[in-house]
Amino acid sequence: MEQQSGVDSADRETGSDAAPPEKPATVICSICGCESPLTEYFQKLSKGKLCPRCYGQEWRGNRLNVYVSVISAGVLVVFVTGKLVGDFPVIPFLNLLLAVAWLWPIVCAHEAIHGLAAWLAGGRVFELALGSGRLLRSTHVRGMRVSWRQQQGTYLGFCAAAFPQRKFLRSRWLLYIMAPLTAQILLVLWLLPRFDWDHLGSELAVVETLVLLNVVVVALNLWPRRYAGMRATDGFWIRELLRGSQSIDDLHAAYFLFASQYAFEDEDFPAMEAAAEAGLALCPENPSLKNNLAASYLVQDRFVEALTLFEQFLADESVQGSSATRALYSCNRAAALFSLALEADGISQEQMESAHASAATAFSLLPWIDEVELVRAISVYFQGRYEIAVEYLALMAHPKQTASVRAGGLAYTALAQYRLRQTSAARASLAEAWKVYPKGDRALVRIGEIIGEGEW
């Protein structure tokens, strides 16, 4: 993701004195200070605009305050409306707690109905999740991941499903998206004859709280909002499907995109490659499938093949400028070059400079992505700034990082410590890397060879 623009190339060839293109406007995260021109990924809170990572952390940090505020507001409403039992609004307060208790079962049921509808319509359910952030716990049930993720914003959970068939594809998607909302509306209509406002202040109102909470959940889901990628509210997808904004090719490509992505997360790299190839055979211009195919070569240590594809993709004019696609291509291209640099034959100085440029481009666009941060830190190592590299790589060693990222950070930390002649520390870091990621990869093996054989 780092090519000279056509304007700049033309200026050099013709001797034009035209001014260089203006730097795109950027947003700076109010917490971590990272900067990016991809403004659509930033969320605005009272502290300012936050990058996706800080937004998720801020929401988790304030979640208790949110719950306390909601309960306090409910208690205030109870007092104002005069719905009291004795001197303290015991029953209304219990009903408020009951509504909070209903929330997660309703979210679970909502996502489960999504999954059931997708399965009945001939699709494959890849994941049912509570939360939307970093993966915390997961298990697999008949090939489907059931997971608990960190809470991020108001996105309480999701179902990842798609369809391998093209026939009636839009109808299948509509059935999958609309099923839980339809079920909730039918439940509300069924319970409505038994709904009584007075019960909220006089007795434990199971029916009333269930009705009100379902109405709120349906309303929030019908509000068309997009979070990132395929993650959006049901209302957003219903609108897009009815408008025809999503082509049949896009909807079909989603199946192969999910298949390749989940194969990557499960470390089934041949399956990742096969899914990406199958998707590209049908949708040859899909940028995410292109990235997943080349990345499948990278994680299988086929660095030259991966590099060839990433350079081919980056040459496409459609990915020039500021885009997440360009950032991903650039990050992975740099990773391929740095992996080749570890080998005995190494790479040329020109290739190394190009790798540094790719790493810088990726970090300038997506600085909050762990893998991008890791590649930036590796770039610092190959610049010979070993002390700074150790500082950057220390951020990758956090226990909440994925095993592969954490192991990569530890391995390059070992290499930087070795260059600093801290041999004992280097061997300890490398041992920890193997402990974190016992499956290993070519980088771990090669770094072990360098340290063990005393290569300087």
Residue 315 in domain: no
At 179 the pLDDT is 96
Same domain, yes or no: 126 and 185: yes
Are 161 and 125 in contact by the 8 Å Cβ rule? The answer is: yes
**Given pLDDT bands bounded at 50, 70 and 90, which one contains residue 4?**
very low
The answer, yes or no, to whether residue 54 has pLDDT greater than 90, is no
Query: If you average pLDDT over residues 91-114, what whole number do you get?
Result: 85
- Nearest to 200, CA basis, from 190, 214, 212: 212
Residue 135 in domain: yes
Q: SS3 for 32?
A: coil
Same domain, yes or no: 77 and 100: no
Residue spans of alpha helices (H) in 124-244: 169-191, 199-202, 206-222, 234-243
The answer, yes or no, to whether residue 19 has pLDDT greater than 50, is no
**Given pLDDT bands bounded at 50, 70 and 90, which one contains residue 225?**
confident
* Token duo for residue 180: 């839980």
Are 26 and 37 in contact by the 8 Å Cβ rule? The answer is: yes
Same domain, yes or no: 98 and 200: yes
The answer, yes or no, to whether residue 403 has pLDDT greater than 60, is yes
**Given pLDDT bands bounded at 50, 70 and 90, which one contains residue 169?**
very high
Are 27 and 367 in contact by the 8 Å Cβ rule? The answer is: no
Residue 390 in domain: no
Q: SS3 for 4?
A: coil
Same domain, yes or no: 159 and 49: no
- Nearest to 349, CA basis, from 382, 378, 306: 382
Same domain, yes or no: 133 and 184: yes
pLDDT in tens, 232-290: 889 999 999 999 888 888 899 999 999 999 999 888 999 999 999 999 998 898 889 99
Same domain, yes or no: 41 and 149: no
pLDDT in tens, 75-97: 555 555 554 444 456 777 777 77
Same domain, yes or no: 62 and 140: no
Domain end marker among 82, 105, 122: 82
Residue 416 in domain: no
pLDDT in tens, 422-445: 999 999 999 999 999 998 899 999
- What CA–CA distance (Å, rounded) separates 416 from 435? 19
The residues, any chain, with a CB within 8 Å of residue 416's CB and separated by 6 or more, are 381, 386, 387, 389, 390, 393
Query: If you average pLDDT over residues 315-322, what whole number do you get?
Result: 75
Same domain, yes or no: 74 and 167: no
Same domain, yes or no: 53 and 125: no
Global model pTM greater than 0.95: no
Domain total in the chain: 2
* Token duo for residue 213: 């909470």
The residues, any chain, with a CB within 8 Å of residue 454's CB and separated by 6 or more, are none
The answer, yes or no, to whether residue 154 has pLDDT greater than 80, is no
Domain end marker among 215, 243, 271: 243
Are 188 and 208 in contact by the 8 Å Cβ rule? The answer is: no
Residue 203 in domain: yes
Residue 320 in domain: no
**Given pLDDT bands bounded at 50, 70 and 90, which one contains residue 12?**
very low
Same domain, yes or no: 215 and 103: yes
Same domain, yes or no: 137 and 205: yes
- What CA–CA distance (Å, rounded) separates 281 from 98? 51
The residue range of the domain holding 51 is 22-82
Domain end marker among 47, 63, 82: 82
The residues, any chain, with a CB within 8 Å of residue 350's CB and separated by 6 or more, are none
Same domain, yes or no: 118 and 185: yes
- What CA–CA distance (Å, rounded) separates 48 from 10? 40
Residue 333 in domain: no
Q: What is the mean pLDDT of the chain?
A: 84
The answer, yes or no, to whether residue 230 has pLDDT greater than 80, is no
Give the highest mean pLDDT range of 5-9, 42-46, 138-142.
138-142
Residue 37 in domain: yes
The residues, any chain, with a CB within 8 Å of residue 131's CB and separated by 6 or more, are 148, 149, 150, 151, 152, 155, 156, 157
Q: What percent of the chain stands above pLDDT 90?
A: 51
What is the distance, to the nearest Å, from the Cα of residue 376 to the centroid of all Cα atoms in its chain?
A: 19
- Residue 446 vs residue 41, higher pLDDT: 446
